[in-house]
Amino acid sequence: MSVNPLRPAELFDGLRLHQNENTGGCSPRVLDAISRMARERVGFYPAYAEMERVGAAYLGVPTERVAFTNGLDEGIMALCVASLRSTPGGVAPEVIIPEPTFEIYRLDTDVAGGKVVRVAPRPDYSFPLPAILAAMTPATRLVLLTNPNNPTGQLVPKEDIRTIARQAPAGATVFLDEAYADFARETFLAELESFPNVIIGRTFSKAFGLAGLRIGCLIGAPDRLAPVIRALPVFSVNVCATVALPAALADRAYLEDYLRQVDESKQLIYSACDRLGFKYWKSGGNFVFVKLGDRAAELVGALAARHIYVKDRSREADCAGCVRISAGWVADTQALVTALDEVLCQVPR
């Protein structure tokens, strides 16, 4: 039977379909594990051995190939700090960023002193391999890829990842952000030993509903991870997260039910778009990228007035007229589709 957790009304003023969160929250086992913590444990700095053992086992890699972080965001920032040091001759270290993508890449590159080398998208948002290869120079230090892509949901062909890793300049790291890999059921993890210049990022915020506890990780060759680990704060993963992660990973039934509901929710959104005449891209993530056209901002506002929030990307050059809609629990998606129908009955065509 499907699990459909209640969402306490006092915690939310609406339906959050703009952050790709698990709106049902975490497995009940997580709350039970946290509630059983001894109070003394909160007073001590956290121990990581059990979390690392269980987390590495879930990923299918040795513990020495994983660095756990305070959310994947911290891992990305540490990667940028460790990688973007001055190149010989004072040339700014370069970061290749295919767009549209996760906004934090540009921000972290700027903070760490790197130069963003933007790769524009193709009209259909398919992966722009030739443009990425053409953008590489001796100053390239990072190539930041997301698979599935956020916001489009498009998958990166594995052979394209291999090609980029083979052709990347010496010393450059190819970062593969797999924040949504649980939904795509596809990962590059098994190939890491063959490509030591690739680091994979994973998060437990999305599929496992742990966004509020901030737990992610980087996976790669130990010598490639070492400078990144030096850029991480000491004890940055909090004690509640260390207890929550093993509990969440143990409840596979909860995870599988949520993944099934995400799949069903995406089909509901696709069907609604087909019926309403909106273009969309089939997604490997827990969201759908939809082109609403010149009415995008107005429709987003009308949904917000009904306390249903979606991510407005319409003002970005690469995403004109587009929004990203989280697809999670089926009841939430049904509420979204109903609201969209109501809104379209009132917004002039």
Q: What is the pLDDT along the chain (349 residues), one digit of tens a residue?
A: 344 444 444 445 789 999 999 999 999 999 999 999 999 999 999 999 999 999 999 999 999 999 999 999 999 999 999 999 866 667 889 999 999 999 999 999 999 999 999 999 999 999 999 999 999 999 999 999 999 999 999 999 999 999 999 999 999 999 999 999 999 999 999 999 999 999 999 999 999 999 999 999 999 999 999 999 999 999 999 999 999 999 999 999 999 999 999 999 999 999 999 999 999 999 999 999 999 999 999 999 999 999 999 999 999 889 999 999 999 999 999 999 999 999 988 655 4
Residue-level pLDDT at 90: 74
Residue-level pLDDT at 88: 63
Residue-level pLDDT at 25: 95
Token digits for 244?
């929550």
User: CB-based contacts of 183: which residues, under 8 Å, 6+ apart?
Assistant: 148, 206, 207, 259, 262, 284, 285, 286
Name which of 148, 155, 156 is nearest 20 in CA terms. 148
Class of domain 9-25+252-346: alpha beta
Residue-level pLDDT at 10: 45
User: CB-based contacts of 165: which residues, under 8 Å, 6+ apart?
Assistant: 174, 195, 197, 198
* φ and ψ at residue 180, rounded to 5 degrees: -115, 20
Predicted TM-score (pTM) of this structure: 0.93
What is the CATH number that goes with domain 28-250? 3.40.640.10
How is the chain split into domains, by residue range? 9-25+252-346, 28-250
* Residue 244 near residue 36, CB atoms below 8 Å: no
